[in-house]
Amino acid sequence: MKIKGESYRSVWVDRDDGFSVRIFDQTRLPWSLDILRLQTHEEVATAIATMQVRGAPLIGAVAAYGLALALRRDSDSDAMERDAAMLAATRPTAINLRWAIQRMLERLRNTRPADRVRIAYEEAALICDEDVAQNEAIGRHGLTLIEDIATAKRARGDEGPVRLLTHCNAGWIATVDWGTALAPIYMAHDKGIPLQVWVDETRPRNQGAALTAWELGSHGVAHTVVSDNAGGHLMQRGDVDLVIVGTDRVTRDGDVANKIGTYLKALAAHDNRVPFWVALPSTTIDWTVRDGLAEIPIEERAPEEVTHIVGRDENGTVRSVQVTPDGTAASNPAFDVTPARLVTGLLTERGACAASPEGLASLFPERSDWTRPRSDHAPSGRSAETNQAG
């Protein structure tokens, strides 16, 4: 993506020293564009845990470079396994993190310690390149979806823009490039399809208000930030043609973990017959789990993210202010699980499919060998009416 005419990815190796890892400090956006230089795997772990770098695909890619940094210090097998485990534990919900570390270990385990640093940098670069290609493909498949909606609107005599709603930030800054949910939006905009994007602010950390609004604004896409509570009302009024979100982990049955509040948007979309699509690279599918509610760990973050809010004051200083009475208890689950039955479809690099075992198996037949039965935990309503395509 371009910032002021210059092309960037969200992570890259420093061109001067050839080893340190460069990222944008996402806790400083949209107020300033600070580039961090991470020189150790401990710094990478801190950047992931504090969300200086965030978004499921991006934390996987950065963690892969984190392992390369760790190997620069100690490339022994024991140290490699220990440092890999430390990096994998920095955030629990997004499966891309564990996927990337696992892929790195599989590539590195049977190599000589003396070769490992070079191989690790090469493998991390491959992970990054593949992420970019996958997200671009997601964008192309999602573009078709938006084009179809635009055509249907015209056929009804509706000359207005395609109105999308998105939650959190699943844009280029959450991936190595392009984004997942935002990739089709960028492509549709570039193709001249008029769009209007409702951007959920996404409390408590405001990834929508801060990051998605910044990304869309930088690209010239028309957008409006709304409070998290507004989505249902907008859908009831007929002001949303399509909801599209990213995800941190999809089960092989099609359940979707994403930023807290996504489930409520899916419920509102279902009630109002608004298509609810989830965009993901296949690195976000956890083939080892079926029941999202029972099996996906939900990250619990610091209560201060709820009791306080960060913003820029009238003097231009970025500050955190308290919004609750002193001593108020707060709980901060960072993700929720949307059951597959509320998901109209999944958009992957291989195309669109139903959020179901059959749908995923149709796109990824090489993974259809997994036979573990679904766990007993079945939330009521799972057999209720669905919001699925077809």
**DSSP letter, residue 300:** B
Q: How far is the CB of 273 from ligand MRU (least distance, A)?
A: 23
Name the residue nearer to ligand MRU (CB basis): 334 or 347: 334
The residue sitting closest to ligand MRU, measured at its beta carbon, is: 246
Distance CA 70, CA 63 (A): 10
10: Cβ contacts below 8 Å, ≥ 6 apart: 23, 24, 53, 55, 58, 61, 172, 173, 174, 175, 176, 177
Please name the residues in contact with 49: beta carbons below 8 A apart, sequence gap of 6 or more: 90, 91
The answer to whether 52 contacts ligand MRU (rule: CB under 6 A) is: no
Contact between 63 and 38 (Cβ < 8 Å): no
Candidates 54, 107, 163, 341: give the one binding ligand MRU (CB under 6 A).
54
Q: Under the criterion CB under 6 A, does residue 134 sit at the interface with ligand MRU?
A: no
Part in contact with ligand MRU (CB under 6 A); list of ranges 50-58, 221-229, 325-333, 351-359: 50-58
Residue 142 found at the interface with ligand MRU (CB under 6 A)? no
Q: Is 57 in the site for ligand MRU (CB under 6 A)?
A: yes
User: Contact between 175 and ligand MRU (CB under 6 A)?
Assistant: yes
170 makes contact with ligand MRU (CB under 6 A): yes
**DSSP symbol at 375:** P
Beta carbons of 178 and 136 less than 8 angstroms apart: yes
As measured in angstroms, the least distance from the Cβ of 93 to ligand MRU is 8
Instruction: Compare residues 41 and 259 and give the one whose CB is closer to ligand MRU.
Output: 259
Strand spans (E) along the chain: 2-3, 6-7, 11-13, 21-24, 35-38, 162-166, 195-200, 223-226, 242-245, 249-251, 256-259, 276-279, 285-286, 308-312, 318-322, 335-338, 345-348, 351-353
Q: Is 313 a catalytic residue?
A: no
Indicate the residue type of 279. A
Q: In angstroms, what is the minimal distance from the CB of 337 to ligand MRU? A: 12
Least separation in angstroms between residue 242's CB and ligand MRU is 16
Q: Which is nearer to ligand MRU, 49 or 119 (CB)?
A: 49
Residue span binding ligand MRU (CB under 6 A) among the ranges 54-62, 65-73, 227-235, 307-315 = 54-62
Sign of the CA dihedral running 340, 274, 228, 146: positive
Nearer to ligand MRU, 52 or 75 (CB): 52
The dihedral sign for the CA sequence 176, 181, 182, 186: positive
Distance CA 93, CA 110 (A): 29
Q: CB 284 → ligand MRU: shortest distance, Å?
A: 7
Contact segment (CB under 6 A) with ligand MRU among 140-148, 235-243, 245-253, 321-329 equals 245-253
Contact by Cβ (8 Å): 207, 131: no
User: What is the nearest approach in angstroms of ligand MRU to the Cβ of residue 157?
Assistant: 35
Q: Say how far apart CA 212 and CA 206 lie, in whole Å.
A: 9
Interface of this chain with ligand MRU, residues 202 to 221, rule: CB under 6 A: 207
The residues near 375 (Cβ < 8 Å, ≥ 6 apart) are 290, 291, 294, 295
Q: What does the DSSP assignment read for 334-365?
A: -EEEE-GGG--EEEETTEEE-SSHHHHHHH-G
Regarding 60 and contact with ligand MRU (CB under 6 A), the answer is: no
180 lies in the binding site for ligand MRU (CB under 6 A): yes
Report the residue count for the chain.
Answer: 390
Q: Which residue among 1, 23, 38, 56 contacts ligand MRU (CB under 6 A)?
A: 56
* Shortest CB 55 distance to ligand MRU, Å: 4
Residue 90 binds ligand MRU, judged by CB under 6 A = no
Should residue 258 be labelled a site residue for ligand MRU when binding is judged by CB under 6 A?
yes
Q: Minimum Å distance from CB 166 to ligand MRU?
A: 9
Q: Report the distance separating Cα 298 and Cα 301, nearest Å.
A: 10
What is the residue type of 245?
V
Active-site entry in 177, 200, 228, 248: 248
Minimum CB distance to ligand MRU smaller for 79 or for 330: 330
Binding site for ligand MRU (CB under 6 A): 54-57, 94, 168, 170, 174-175, 179-180, 207, 246-248, 258-259, 334
Instruction: Supply the residues annotated as catalytic.
Output: 248
